[in-house]
Structure 1
Amino acid sequence: MTLDIAYSPCPNDTFVFDAWAHGRIPDAPALDVTFADIDLTNGMAERGEFNILKVSYAVLPYVLDEYALLPCGGALGRGCGPLVLTREAGVDLTGKTVAVPSEKSTAYLLFRLWAADVLPQGVGEIVVLPFHEIMPAVRDGRVDAGLVIHEARFTYQNYGLHRLADMGEHWEATTGLPIPLGAIIAKRSLGTETLKSLAEAARTSVRMAWDDPEASRAYVLEHAQEMDPAVADRHIGLYVNEFTADLGEDGYAAVRGLLTRAAAEGLVPPLGRDALSFP
């Protein structure tokens, strides 16, 4: 059996899925991989286009009727939240234009929850841009601020930009929970046994990557879009952690907490009682 899967070319995803994607896990279903940025995979999930997808946790309320959340393979953590960047330090974003990678991204939900606390008058226009275009747009003055994710934490100084706020710091300070970022979902129609086998394959792939990091290096760097290898390593170290192997109690609490707070703000539909349960 071969199943189609879509995930990003970011180092954390290629690191996690390397062993599985290359057929090194005995008895695991074969994968037909498509690379796509998170805004695209979120849309794919809403249209039900792939069997397995890496998506933003923010899109779960829209897709959990058709997809199940796998308890492993995704991205949560501490000290790894999205950043708001500006050209000048200390900018007041009230009424300003902010570029975001997706309006259905977890980064955007965290941003909206932060803004609700610290910008009572609200921001101005929200502009959706591909992830790699956001920092140049801020640098060139096409937008007033940018919401960035992933390796931008390590490279924004190269664009002469300033960190205005850290969405993860705000989330952790107000909740005490890890930051939920990206989820792995699979179609419920695959059946309970297949879903369990997918979760086991994802967990095994993570552990194999940890056991032999060099095995995935060529795959990671091939798709890292000219990223410095040292930055790729820092990226993996930050986003691939114990929650990738198993969401656990704190991981599920973080996901429920984010989506419950977002629903209370009217940002997403409310979750059903058992929406996050796994077979």
Structure 2
Amino acid sequence: MKIAFSPCPNDTFVFHALVHGLVPGAPKFDVTFADIDITNSLATKPNGPEVLKISYAALPWVLSNYALLPTGGALGRGCGPLVLTKNGLSDTNDPSLLSGRRVAVPSERSTAYLLFRLWAAQNVPGGVGEIVIMPFNEIMPAVRDGLIDAGLVIHEARFTYPSYGLNLLVDLGSWWETDTGLPIPLGAIIAKRSLDLNSLAGWIRSSVEYAWANPEESRGYVLSHSQELAPEVAQAHIDLYVNKFTADLGEAGYGAIEALLGRASDEGLVPKVDWSLLR
């Protein structure tokens, strides 16, 4: 069975047991490591992998062919995307700074970009200027070097951006939580509807539970795919993004997803969602 997820520590931690034959009854998996922009695209292809990690923002485009699984994804509090600028560009965190500016984002259909668009509509007079799609690991150097005016970053950038001499303009996760009182839906695990979805969800949940029970077993696998990260940064990444919602979305998780996609749909940013296909 083909599966695609990112090489980020939270994904390699979650799926280590599943792809290494440590989950009883699970089939063998052929892994593709890919940035979120690529997996969002793969999910739209007729011959896409059976199982993928994508952005929740991309879900409305693929729900007819893929089902959302209730386990394995990234959703939580205090873990949202950040908007960064170069130190010295502004002495304040005034959102109007972005009016007419060039902003890099990690994917056109990323949850980060969707949150950014919802926030900018309320806070950036006249809107931003040019949006530049860029692999997430290239965004902070581009902001630092003045190639773009601001960057929308995800993942371990939350822990490492000060080392690039960058300034936090806004934490979009904090904005979303304050605005809605809900956790932030970031990355979804989806699977083709032709599969045995209950068994697949059970195998992934077992992989999450195995990782929590045996954290040392996945360490080498995690670090081999995040070689640019110090071990303590990789662990902080796991601690933040792998939480109770990773084991099971629950009503709170589904409620957050419905709030995000419902608001985005009302604003015309994503297609209308057939809610009967979500659960």
Same-fold call, TM cutoff 0.5: yes
Unpaired runs of 5+ residues, structure 2, are none
Query: What TM-score, normalized to structure 2?
Result: 0.96
Q: Deviations 1:195-234 (Å, cap 9, x if unpaired)?
A: 1111001100001100110010000000013210000000
Query: What TM-score, normalized to structure 1?
Result: 0.96
Identify which of 44, 47, 63 aligns with 2:45. Answer: 47
Q: Deviations 1:253-279 (Å, cap 9, x if unpaired)?
A: 0101100111111110010130211xx
Partner residue, 2:174: 169
Partner residue, 1:274: 276
Q: 2-side partners of 1:244 and 1:61: how far apart? A: 20
Partner residue, 2:204: 202
Query: What number of residue pairs does the alignment pair up?
Result: 272
Q: 2-side partners of 1:30 and 1:180: how far apart? A: 29
Q: 2-side partners of 1:261 and 1:275: how far apart? A: 18
Identify which of 2, 21, 24 aligns with 1:23. Answer: 21
Identify which of 111, 118, 133 aligns with 1:106. Answer: 111
Identify which of 30, 33, 36 aligns with 1:32. Answer: 30
| RMSD value, Cα | 0.8
Q: Kindly indicate whether the alpha-carbon contact (under 8 Å) linking 1:29 and 1:198 is maintained by their aligned counterparts in 2.
A: no
Structure 1 stretch displaced more, 267-276 or 68-77: 267-276
What SS is found at the alignment partner of 2:216? helix
Structure 1 residues 9-20: aligned runs within 5 Å: 9-20=7-18
Q: Percent identity?
A: 66
Q: 2-side partners of 1:273 and 1:81: how far apart? A: 24
Runs of 4+ in 1 over 6 A off after TM superposition: none
In the alignment, structure 1 residue 233 sits paired with structure 2 residue 235: yes
Q: 1-side partners of 2:82 and 2:114: how far apart? A: 13
Q: Deviations 1:115-169 (Å, cap 9, x if unpaired)?
A: 1111131111000001111001100111000000010000000100000000000
Partner residue, 1:264: 266
What SS is found at the alignment partner of 2:229? coil
Q: 2-side partners of 1:206 and 1:120: how far apart? A: 43
Q: 2-side partners of 1:238 and 1:119: how far apart? A: 29
Q: 1-side partners of 2:154 and 2:172: how far apart? A: 10
Partner residue, 1:215: 217
User: Which amino acid in the other structure matches residue 36 of structure 1?
Assistant: A
In the alignment, structure 1 residue 251 sits paired with structure 2 residue 248: no
User: Which amino acid in the other structure matches residue 40 of structure 2?
Assistant: N
